[in-house]
Chains A and B, each alone.
Chain A
Amino acid sequence: MLDWGRVRFFWAEVAQNFTRNITMALTAIGTIAIAIVLLGVFLFLRTSFNIVMQNFVGQVAVAVYLREDATGPQVNALVQNAKADPRVDSVRFVTKKQAFANLRRTLRGQFNLNVLNNNPLPNTIVIHTREPADVPVIASELQHKPGVAVVNFGSDVTTRLLRAEALFSAIGAGIIALLLLSTSLIMYNTIRLTVFARQREIRIMQLVGATGWAVRWPFIFEGILSGLAGALIGLGALQFGYRSFAPKIIVNLPFIPFNITQVPLHHLALELLLVGALVGMLSSLFSVSRYLQTA
C-alpha cells in the first residue's frame, strides 16, 4: 500500500532543494530554457530543410530504359521484383508508344515529331523510391539486369542533393551534440553547487544509514523538474517567436519552396520537453553520484 507519509516527505525534500537554493535552481532553469530555445530554432530549421529536400529529391525517379530485344518474361521479372522491393514506393511501366505520345505532347509547337520514320523511344519502367537516398543504389542494382539498356536517375543533381543533405545532417548532429553537452555541463556544475549547499544533510543521511539512492533521488527529481520548467519556459519563448515571425515569413518570402505549417510543431515540442527533462535528470545523477564518490 502507498505510504503517503513517505511520499509527502520525499516531495518536501525535493521542494526544499528548490526553495533553499532558489538562485541556483533559477540558474539551472534559465540554462535549460536558453538551450531549449537554441535547440528548438535549430531543430525547426533542420526539419524545414528536410521537408524542402524531401520535396526536391522526392521528385527524382529511376528511369529504366529497356532493350529492344527485352523479352516479356524479362520485363515482367523487372517490374515484379521492383514492386516486391520494400524500398520502392511505386512502379510504372511506360510503353514506347506511350512514351512517344508523351514526348509529342511535351514538344507540341516546338518540334514536329512526324519527321521521324519510326519511334526511337524504348519501353521504360519508372520507379519512385520511399527514401531519396535509395535512388542511386537501386539504379546501380538494375544497371546490369537482363533486358535493361540504360538506367537514368539524373545522377549529378540527385547525388549532389543527397550529399548536401548528408552534410547538413552531420553538421546538425554535431551542433545538437555540442549544445546538449554544454548545457549538461552547466547544469552539472549548477546542481553540484546545490549538492555542496546540502552537504551537511548528505553527511547526516550517510551517517544514519541512508543508501546512496536515498540520497540521489531528491536531486534527480530536482533535476527533472528544473529540466521540465526550463523546457516549458523555452517552449513558451519559441511559441511566441513562431507566432510573431511565421506569418511574416510566409508573406514576405513566398519563394521559399515549402509550407511553414508543414513542420510538426507538437512533435518538436514534445521532443524538446523530453530533452529538457533528460538533460536535467542526467546532470543531477552524475553530479550527485560524483559527489558521493568523493565524499
Chain B
Amino acid sequence: MIVFQDVSLVYPNGVHALTEISLTVARGEFLFLVGSSGQGKSSLLKCVNREVRPTEGEVIVDGHGLGDLRPRAIPFLRRKVGVVFQDFKLLHQKTVWENVAYALQVTGASSRDVLRRVPRTLELVGIAHKSKMFPHELSGGEQQRTAIARSLVNNPLILLCDEPTGNLDPDTSSEIMALLARINAKGTTMIVATHNQAIVDRMRRRVVRLVNGRIARDEERGRYHVGLG
C-alpha cells in the first residue's frame, strides 16, 4: 500500500529531514509515528501526499511511484490520501456541513453526491447534530471531528493524521483516537504522527520512532518508549 524505498529528503535550506527511510505500510494498517519535534514525522507524511518530493529514493502509494508523478496527477493522488492536522484547518466562515461539502465541491463532485455523502460522513464522525454550526461555535474535539469528516468524505484509502490530538484535552483525545480506530477498522490505512504517549501505549499498534530523520525503531504492538511496561 505505502512503500518507502531508501527515501531521503533535504529541504532547499539544507535541513536533512529524512535519511534513508525504508518502510512498508500494509493496506488497512494502523501505524503510530512517534518522536520529538523536528525528527521528520511531518516530512514523512508530506512525502505520502506529494506535498514534498524526496531528494533520493522512491515513495510508492497504492502501486504507483510518486517520483514520476506529473504535477497535474497530484490532485488525484490527494483524493486517495486524506489529511488531518493539529490545528484543524477549517474554514471559519463556513458551517460544519459546508466545510465537509467543500472537499467534494472543489473536486467536482455532483450536488447529488454531496447531498448523499456529507450527512453520512457527519454521522460517522458523530457530528451530524452540529452540521449547521460554525467552527467557532464548536469545541476543539468537535472541530477535529469536522476536519476528520472533511478528509474522509472523498473515501480516501489512506488517512494521514499530523498530531490530531495536539490541541485537545486527554478525554477528547481518547475520543478522537477511538474514532480514528473505528475508521481504520472499516479498511482505511492510518498513519498517525503523535506525541501522545498515553494513547500510543494504550492502543498498542505498530509504532515507528524517528530520530534525526532516521527510523530508530519499528515495533508491532509497540509502546511510545521502548522497554516500558
Interface residues of A (CB under 8 A from B): 3-6, 9, 16, 20, 200-201, 203-212, 214-215
Contact = CB atoms under 8 A, between A and B. Distances in A.
Contacts of B114: 5
Interface residues of B, number: 27
Contact of A208 (B93, B110, B115, B150): B150
Interface of B: 49, 71-72, 75-79, 82-83, 89, 91, 93, 102-103, 105-108, 110-112, 114-115, 150-151, 154
Contacts of A207: 49, 78, 83, 89
A16 B151 CA distance: 23
Given A5-B114, A200-B89, A209-B76, 19 more contacts: A3-B111, A5-B110, A5-B112, A6-B108, A9-B105, A20-B93, A200-B91, A204-B89, A204-B102, A206-B75, A207-B78, A207-B89, A208-B79, A208-B106, A208-B151, A208-B154, A209-B154, A210-B106, A215-B106
Contacts of A6: 105, 108, 110-111
A243 to B, nearest CB: 43
A207 B114 CA distance: 18
Contact of B103 (A4, A200, A208, A215): A208
Contact of A211 (B72, B112, B115, B151): B72
Contacts of B75: 206, 209-212, 214
B107 A208 contact: yes
Given A201-B91, A203-B89, A212 B72 contact: yes
Contacts of A206: 75, 78
Contacts of B77: 209
A61 B194 CA distance: 89
Nearest to A204: B89
Contacts of A209: 75-79, 103, 107, 154
A205 B94 CA distance: 14
Given A203-B89, A208-B103, A4 B111 contact: yes
A188 B12 CA distance: 28
Contacts of B102: 204, 208
A128 B3 CA distance: 81
B78 A208 contact: yes
B91 A3 contact: no
B78 A214 contact: no
14 contacts: A3-B110, A6-B108, A9-B105, A205-B106, A206-B75, A206-B78, A207-B49, A207-B89, A208-B106, A209-B77, A209-B78, A212-B72, A214-B106, A214-B107
B99 to A, nearest CB: 9
Contacts of A211: 72, 75, 107
Q: Which of A204, A206, A208, A210 has the most CB of B within 10 A?
A: A208
Contacts of B111: 3-6, 9
A89 B216 CA distance: 90
Contact of B108 (A4, A201, A204, A214): A214
B187 to A, nearest CB: 19
